[in-house]
Amino acid sequence: MSPVDSTGVNPDESLTPLALLAKADQAISSLEDVLADLVAEFAARDLPLYLVGGSVRDAILGRLGNDLDFTTPARPEMIKEILESWAGTVWDTGIDFGTVSAQHRGQQIEITTFRSDTYDGQSRNPEVVFGDTLEGDLVRRDFRINAMAVELLIDDRGSLTGRFHDPVGGLEDLEHKRLDTPDTPEISFHDDPLRMLRAARFVSHLGFGVADRVKEAMNDMSEQINRITVERIQLELNKLMEGAAPWTGMNLLVNTGIAAHVFPEIPAMRDMKDEHHQHKDVYAHSMQVLRQAIEQEEDGPDLVLRWAALLHDCGKPQTRAFNDDGRVTFHHHEVVGAKLIRRRLRELKYSKQMVADISQLVYLHMRFYGFGEGQWTDSAVRRYVTDAGPLLPRLHKLVRADSTTRNQRKAARLQRTYDHLEDRIAEIAEREDLARVRPDLDGNEIMVILDMPPGPAVGRAWTFLKELRLERGPLEREEAIAELRTWWEAEQSQDKS
């Protein structure tokens, strides 16, 4: 790859780190079988094609995926024509914005006409304006590390090669693991405030720091994030939480005041001392729980577990109180926290399932602490498993992650106690179906036995039998019928009195 940038800098004078470019060379070479024909199609029409943005960044970092972004001076209709002759699948849902996409041999391709958009300063929606220069397209991008391009070429031997373009110094930022904007951050964030959330997302995923001027602008302009729709905010928050170190991105949002606008329950934990004085504050404890929850993941990022770990103590600010000896307490913070989470996640338009799962994990995370080692009765185990339902594996991980004490003896005791609980669950599961604890009689049987029509009384009877099943385990049919009749006689006597 030739280290020539679009500003005309002499290659010999370039500050480009050759080791980083070598990684990009390797990535582009690996794409030759997929892309050579596409590049040739553009070249036959005297049209350049550039790998651009995050794809170049990831190629240089050695982490290029199967979703590639390109730019070209060709207009959308021409891009579509070329792609339709090259790929098996083409879709043009973004053609009004200059984007046409395709799928070819397992590679997803997105090609966009050069853009030189203008913004109205009220929303993040630009007035789409097609551009004529690569540099004009690159300088309008969010961060310098995303403002690099590789012009794809076919050399004299017919091999795929590339020419590097870096008009704003993105490679230097990559070398120093730094996030900075092509224009001033004030202009960049005014054009699109979502870029402030994207900064936090890149911190989480890439482990980069943020330039001082970017951080200052985020702090000064934090309320501008309110121009962004909740759907876009939710999407960026999820991407942040899926990063390798989501606590770093969340710290940036909290420290710049942006979190106070998008998820105020998170920064509210920052100044809350916990009852054991083991952490600077509840926020720091929650970040440690998040780290420890991630360490237990088995198949990649688990958003439900990560959100529950971060938010499990968000009810503490509203439940703080002091007992007679002056110690701080947070009684029932799990109940309050679950309510806060349901409300916030609904406002952010999370799915009903996500809202239910995250809030239920928060609600249940203190249940374990109500029992000491060896004190888990069969009934308590059944209720724990039933209330957790399919969330039980995540609840195990959350409760274990919630142990952040520096006292090694106490930490070992907590883990040993939870080991005992899991052993008790396995022991009872061998005798009975804990995954589906249901009454020993169903609704139809209840109506026949008690000779009653459908109605609320059937529901009450079913609930009674469910509680009986949780308390005593499976009953023989005749025993269940006898208990049902006894309960119903008591109900009728109470109604008459």
- Give pLDDT tens digits for 387-423: 898 999 999 999 999 988 777 888 788 888 888 888 8
Residue 235, burial from CB neighbour count under 10 angstroms (0-12, 13-18, 19+):
middle
Is 80 exceeded by the pLDDT of residue 12?
Answer: no
Is 388 in the same domain as 479? no
User: Has residue 171 been placed in a domain?
Assistant: yes
Is 156 in the same domain as 43? yes
The pLDDT, as a whole number, for residue 43 is: 94
Q: Measure the CA–CA gap between 162 and 158, rounded to whole angstroms.
A: 13
Per residue in 441-456, pLDDT tens? Answer: 777 888 888 888 888 8
38 closest CA partner among 25, 27, 51: 51
Is 150 in the same domain as 92? yes
The pLDDT, as a whole number, for residue 275 is: 52
Is 50 exceeded by the pLDDT of residue 16?
Answer: no
Element (H, E) at 415: helix 408-431
Task: Return the C-alpha torsion angle 124, 125, 127, 130, nearest 10.
Answer: 90
Is 353 in the same domain as 464? no
User: Has residue 225 been placed in a domain?
Assistant: no
User: Over pLDDT 90: what percentage of the chain?
Assistant: 54
The pLDDT, as a whole number, for residue 126 is: 65
Which amino acid type is present at position 246? P
The pLDDT, as a whole number, for residue 274 is: 52
CATH, residue 113: 3.30.460.10
Is 408 in the same domain as 464? no
User: Has residue 78 been placed in a domain?
Assistant: yes
User: Has residue 2 been placed in a domain?
Assistant: no
Distances (CA, A) of 173 to 2, 60, 182, 192, 202: 19, 12, 11, 21, 13
The pLDDT, as a whole number, for residue 15 is: 38
Mean pLDDT taken over the chain: 86
User: Has residue 394 been placed in a domain?
Assistant: yes
Per residue in 29-58, pLDDT tens? Answer: 888 888 999 999 999 999 999 999 999 999
Is 80 exceeded by the pLDDT of residue 376?
Answer: no
Is 60 exceeded by the pLDDT of residue 285?
Answer: yes
**451 or 205: which leads in pLDDT:** 205
The pLDDT, as a whole number, for residue 360 is: 97
Is 60 exceeded by the pLDDT of residue 17?
Answer: no
Domain hosting 117: range is: 11-176
Strand bridging mode 118-119 / 126-127: antiparallel
Mean pLDDT of 341-363: 97
Is 19 in the same domain as 154? yes
Is 62 in the same domain as 170? yes
Residue given tokens 């005791």 in the structure block: 413
The pLDDT, as a whole number, for residue 66 is: 85
Per residue in 261-279, pLDDT tens? Answer: 999 999 999 876 555 554 4
Is 80 exceeded by the pLDDT of residue 250?
Answer: yes
Is 316 in the same domain as 462? no
Widest distance between CA atoms in the chain:
100
Q: Which of 186-195, 289-298, 400-409 has the lowest mean pLDDT?
A: 400-409
The pLDDT, as a whole number, for residue 315 is: 95
Number of domains in the chain: 3
The pLDDT, as a whole number, for residue 10 is: 35
User: Has residue 192 been placed in a domain?
Assistant: no
Is 403 in the same domain as 477? no
Q: How confident is the model at residue 120 (pLDDT cuts 50, 70, 90)?
A: low
CA 92 to chain centre: 28
Is 412 in the same domain as 480? no
Is 335 in the same domain as 465? no
Is 50 exceeded by the pLDDT of residue 200?
Answer: yes
Is 446 in the same domain as 363? no
Which of 123, 150, 176 is a domain's end point? 176
Which of 403, 419, 434 is a domain's end point? 434
Rounded to a whole number of angstroms, the CA Rg of the chain reads 30
Per residue in 425-442, pLDDT tens? Answer: 888 877 766 666 777 777
The pLDDT, as a whole number, for residue 9 is: 34
User: Has residue 268 been placed in a domain?
Assistant: no
The pLDDT, as a whole number, for residue 428 is: 80
Q: Is 420 within 8 Å of 375 (Cβ atoms)? A: no
Which of 176, 194, 227 is a domain's end point? 176
User: Has residue 248 been placed in a domain?
Assistant: no
Q: How confident is the model at residue 479 (pLDDT cuts 50, 70, 90)?
A: confident
**423 or 216: which leads in pLDDT:** 216
Per residue in 50-85, pLDDT tens? Answer: 999 999 999 998 888 889 999 999 999 999 999 999
